[in-house]
Amino acid sequence: MADKDDQSKWNATRMPDLSGRTAVVTGANSGIGLVAADVLARAGAHVVFAVRDLERGRAAAGTVTGSTEVRRLDLADLSSVREFAGSWNGPLDLLVNNAGVMMLPQQRTKDGFEMQFGTNHLGHFALTNLLLPYVTDRVVTVSSGAHRWGDGRIHFDDLNSAADYDPRRAYGQSKLANLLFTLELQRRLTESGSSVRALAAHPGYAATNLQSHTANPVARALMRLGNRLVAQDDKAGALPTLYAATQDLPGASYVGPDGLGEMRGAPALVGRTAAASDPVTARRLWTASEELTGTAFPLVPAGSEGGSAGV
């Protein structure tokens, strides 16, 4: 029997009523994205599945109880990001930047960026800036404990990891970028007088299909074993995202599991590296990302005093 402390920990049964709210979840066709979309929809939100494969997205949405729709979004193609954002014409309460790729063989996005940095960071960076005029509540970006991997820094002289490509280091850099993006986004929102909040979350060690595309076959085998023996399931892995998306937390908060090594457990505020908390690096990354994507922070984001949700 669980003790009182376990029973008091936050879980998806404590979701608030989200009736009348709209959420976009990228990569909602599987894993923690699908779980998050399902829980949000069950709580009353209208959930937009932003997915690369419409057929898979529709199949996934068909498993969800509640109001959903499916729209195409390929984060590895900035023209697709612009098309998705350009088609938006109403208030957006919640944007969940969930989609991601992990430890791939060396590949490039359609725009020529290293696939992990381009998808995990730049695609979401562009999407967020383009949708901010409509966002009324918050942006939640899914990072990872992998932001500590490698030398734990942003390689501004080689953002595309062209020199001596290491899939693990490239993935770690993309997840560090997610945290720095959240930090600088919150600074800009606060400076603009917006009530919109930017938060980050990580799932701990969750068993999803993300690990199945890693470049190294030995790493894939070890991850499959870890998924069976150590990992929590995708329902538990989605809890930090849902907690960040619905609870009254300060901007720039980072949510993860509260267990040993943040591998599993109930959602709680967790720490990050000094590099992930550096405002100077965050601003530098923002500037570089603006130049690479051709997108910028809107002059009057939704939630600003005198601003509009951009109906």
Is 200 part of any domain?
yes
Is 306 part of any domain?
no
Is 151 part of any domain?
yes
Active site residue ranges: 171
Distance CA 243, CA 208 (A): 19
Mean pLDDT by 10 residues, the chain (311 residues): 56 96 98 97 98 98 98 98 97 98 96 98 98 98 95 95 94 97 98 97 77 52 50 91 98 95 93 97 98 94 59 25
- Which pLDDT score, from 0 to 100, does residue 6 have? 53
CATH of residue 164's domain is 3.40.50.720
Distance CA 219, CA 222 (A): 5
Distance CA 118, CA 60 (A): 25
Q: Are 48 and 24 in contact (CB under 8 A)?
A: yes
Number of domains comprising the chain: 1
Residue 279's contacts (CB-CB under 8 Å, 6 or more residues apart) are 183, 184, 187
- Which pLDDT score, from 0 to 100, does residue 48 have? 98
Is 304 part of any domain?
no
Q: Are 43 and 93 in contact (CB under 8 A)?
A: no
Determine the Cα angle at 275 with ends 292 and 189, to 5°: 60
- Which pLDDT score, from 0 to 100, does residue 5 have? 47
Is 207 part of any domain?
yes
Distance CA 71, CA 24 (A): 10
Terminal CA-CA length for the chain: 50
Distance CA 57, CA 136 (A): 25
Other Cβ atoms within 10 Å of 160 Cβ, number:
19
Other Cβ atoms within 10 Å of 60 Cβ, number:
21
Distance CA 53, CA 70 (A): 10
Is 3 part of any domain?
no
* Sign of the alpha-carbon torsion through 75, 66, 88, 139: negative
Is 274 part of any domain?
yes
- Which pLDDT score, from 0 to 100, does residue 226 have? 45
**Cα 188 from chain centroid (whole Å):** 18
- Which pLDDT score, from 0 to 100, does residue 230 have? 58
- Which pLDDT score, from 0 to 100, does residue 246 have? 98
**Cα 201 from chain centroid (whole Å):** 7
Is 4 part of any domain?
no
**Residue 227 lies in domain:** 17-293
